[in-house]
Amino acid sequence: MSARNSLTEEERATAIAALMAEYDIGEARADRFVTEYYETLESYRDPEVLKSLVAKFRNSRV
């Protein structure tokens, strides 16, 4: 099951909005982040996990 299908539209929109607000990234980048890393983001409410993942994502070639 893809990340796009494992989230409701409301959950997906909430995750994207939170990433955009917290880490000052654009919607497209936040959307890719959610799509590519959702399996790991089950613990996304833990700020340290999210910060680590965002740092990894920011350092990747997108």
Per-residue pLDDT of the chain (62 residues; tens, 9 = 90+): 444 557 889 999 999 999 999 999 999 999 988 887 776 656 666 778 778 878 888 887 65
Task: Round to whole Å and give the CA distance between 42 and 46.
Answer: 9
**pLDDT value for 37:** 75
pTM of structure: 0.55
pLDDT at 36: 79
| Number of structural domains the chain divides into | 1
What lies within 8 Å, CB to CB, of 36 at 6+ separation is: 3, 57
**Per-residue model confidence (pLDDT) at position 1:** 43
Tell me how far apart the alpha carbons of residues 60 and 9 are, in angstroms, rounded to a whole number: 26
